[in-house]
Amino acid sequence: MKKHLAGLCILLIMLVSAFPAFGGPPTDAVEKTVNRVLDILRDPKLKGPSAKQAKTEKLRLIYKDMFDEMEFSRRTLTRNWNKFTPDQRREFVDLFEQVLEKAYLDKILDYSNEKVVFYKEDKISDKQVEVHSKIITSSKEVPIVYRMINKDDKWKVYDVVVENVSLVQNYRTQFNDILASGTPEQLLDTLRKKVKTH
Amino acid sequence: MRIFFAWLTILFLLMGALPAFSAQDAPGAQNEKSLSQDALETPAQSAADGEPKSLKGAQEKTANFEEEYVEEGDADEKTQGERVAIADPLEPFNRAMYLFNDRLYFWLLKPAAQGYNVVVPEPARISIKNFFTHLAYPSRLLSLLLQADFAGAAEETGRFVINTLWGIGGLLDPAAGGELKLQRQEADLGQTLGVYGVGHGFYIVWPIWGPSSPRDTLTIVGDTFLYPPSYISPWYVNRGVWAFEKINSASLRIGDYESLISAAIDPYLAIRDAYAQYRAKDINARKTRSLLFKDHEDPTPKPGDGQKDDFLRH
């Protein structure tokens, strides 16, 4: 009997340990998406400057699937969101996305075989988690945390924390400053100019 | 009999482990499927079955745009901490200094670092950076001791000894790799004051050194006193070594600053906020390691906490 019990105990322990120490569906979701991005970047068929457009198109689709743009925009504007009319909000979300694309696309396309490791998942609330990852380059490790929210059973990213700096919070500070003395229209105008000057 | 039980256990394990794996795989596989379907749906497909779906999507979107923003209290509590503002009474001066540093980077430091990049291969530059970081050990050790992070102080000392002996005087960093995994403890004096609850005071941008505050200026001053190369004489060799170190470390970071400012709407504010966020989380992470403060802190490690040296703490 004792031996049965021991066997059962071992069985239970093994079952528990068969699950990875971290990583539920949210980690799965980001990890798969990141791997799809890496596959595109490593794709030998998509090498050279001529393939840049094709790569960009593919990455854009993945971005839309991975990020909750609405959540991202609302969180950067916080209460100021309510000062925007629905049309202004639509334009804001669109412009903000373009700003981000222009800023980060080249950085992503520059990718040269850095390693991406996912190692931890922290729960913020029932519907929100933080997925911890790091990019390992030859000279350093860059910690990147994806904050994810569950909506309609799908995990999407609403904030990215790079080296301790939350993007949402960073833009919040900048937008707050503009909106403290300016109107939503002025902010949109700043963004329109930013998108054009690139 | 014993052998029989052993086999039985193994059999159980096999049976138990297999469904566990597949159960765990299944949602992932589904996820992948839905992901690829959503994202890589060809136009033909969406035309075929997508009409009601896209209509629904459009409705959903309009609804979203009309929805007002409501502050979420509890769910965001964990991230509320990063809404740290730093007072900036000297903004006009700071903006001028920011501009000065920006020009200094683009006109002087970046071209120098780019030229240097061409001549010196990356592994050598990394080694040189390791070497200078290695020499800054006294400042890190003092800070760790003052923070009552004795485990950290021991790790730093272990690193110093190992890298001096087996890392060719600090050119290589064998302590960080392999089974030792002794990561450098990024401790400094301003941070130490922060651990004891001293606030920034206000934001100040120093020429050359960049974002700082009265509290973190202690880091700049302390680092100079506790950094052996500061005592090199004559002065021109001293300055030469200093400039060399700056160019070398800049050569490994070309592009970081550029992407930061290209993503920013107002680069000055973006950097100020990044600085405030970074320091606040850095100090929180340090507090969880300090013998004096760790019990009063939230035990869950904050983002950016040195998880990689977790096992050393237990």
pTM here is: 0.75
Following DSSP, what letter does each residue of B45-94 receive, concatenated?
Answer: HHHHH-HHHHHHHHHHHHHHHHSPP----STTHHHHTT------TTHHHH
pLDDT exceeds 90 at position A115:
no
- Order of strands across the sheet with A128-136? A115-125, A128-136, A141-151, A154-162, A165-166
A29 and chain B in contact, CB less than 8 A: yes
Q: Count A/B contacts: CB-CB distance under 8 Å.
A: 158
- Please list every residue in chain B whose beta carbon sits closer than 8 Å to the beta carbon of residue A32: 28, 31-32, 35
| Torsion sign over Cα A103, A109, A111, A115 | positive
Q: Where are the alpha helices (DSSP H) in chain A?
A: 2-18, 25-42, 52-66, 69-77, 86-109, 167-181, 184-196
In the prediction, which pLDDT does A137 show? Answer: 80
By CA distance, what is A191's nearest residue in B? B265
In the prediction, which pLDDT does B172 show? Answer: 87
- Please list every residue in chain B whose beta carbon sits closer than 8 Å to the beta carbon of residue A28: 27-28, 31
Contacts of A92 (CB under 8 A, 6+ apart): A73, A77, A84, A184, A187, A188, A191
The span from the CA of A191 to the CA of A174, in Å, is: 12
Pick from B5, B20, B273: CB nearest A15: B20
Q: Which of B253, B256, B308 is nearest to B285 (CA)?
A: B308
The span from the CA of A149 to the CA of A158, in Å, is: 7
ipTM associated with this complex: 0.80
In chain B, % of residues over pLDDT 90: 44
Site of tokens 């983002």: B303
By CA distance, what is A76's nearest residue in B? B69
pLDDT exceeds 70 at position B75:
no
Q: Are A92 and A77 in contact (CB under 8 A)?
A: yes
Pick from A103, A110, A166: CB nearest B82: A166
The span from the CA of B313 to the CA of B311, in Å, is: 5
The alpha carbon of residue A47 is apart from the nearest alpha carbon of chain B, in Å, by: 20
Tens of pLDDT, residue by residue over B169-181, are 888 888 887 777 8
Residue window 42-101, chain A: list those with CB within 8 Å of chain B: 61-62, 64-65, 70, 74, 77-79, 81-82, 86, 89-90, 93, 99-100
Tens of pLDDT, residue by residue over A6-30, are 666 665 555 554 444 456 788 888 8
Helix, strand or coil, per DSSP, at residue B165: helix
Pick from A138, A154, A173: CB nearest B273: A173
The alpha carbon of residue A22 is apart from the nearest alpha carbon of chain B, in Å, by: 12
| Torsion sign over Cα A112, A164, A76, B268 | negative
The count of other CB atoms within 10 Å of the CB of residue A121 is 21
CB contact under 8 A, B265 and A174: yes
Q: How far apart are the first and last CA of chain A?
A: 75
Residue to substitute from B14, B61, B69, B252, interface A, most A β-carbons within 10 A: B69
DSSP state letter for B107: I
Site of tokens 């059973």: A153
- Please list every residue in chain B whose beta carbon sits closer than 8 Å to the beta carbon of residue A175: 265
The alpha carbon of residue A106 is apart from the nearest alpha carbon of chain B, in Å, by: 9
The span from the CA of B91 to the CA of B96, in Å, is: 8
CB contact under 8 A, B259 and A82: no
List for chain B the helix, strand, coil content (%; round to 5): 70, 0, 30
Helix, strand or coil, per DSSP, at residue A119: strand
Q: Name the more confident of B306 and B102.
A: B102
CB contact under 8 A, B21 and A86: no
Tens of pLDDT, residue by residue over B8-27, are 554 444 444 443 333 333 33
- Please list every residue in chain A whose beta carbon sits closer than 8 Å to the beta carbon of residue B303: 122, 130, 132, 143, 145, 161, 164
pLDDT exceeds 50 at position B97:
yes
pLDDT exceeds 60 at position B270:
yes
Tens of pLDDT, residue by residue over B215-256, are 999 999 998 899 988 899 889 999 999 999 999 999 988 888
A103 and chain B in contact, CB less than 8 A: yes
In the prediction, which pLDDT does B16 show? Answer: 44
Tens of pLDDT, residue by residue over A41-89, are 887 777 777 777 888 888 888 888 888 888 889 889 888 888 899 899 9
The span from the CA of A70 to the CA of B107, in Å, is: 39
Helix, strand or coil, per DSSP, at residue A163: coil
Residue to substitute from A13, A165, A175, interface B, most B β-carbons within 10 A: A165
Tokens representing residue A125 in the block? 């609330």
A170 and chain B in contact, CB less than 8 A: yes
- Please list every residue in chain B whose beta carbon sits closer than 8 Å to the beta carbon of residue A18: 16-17, 20-21, 24
Pick from B17, B31, B263: CB nearest A28: B31
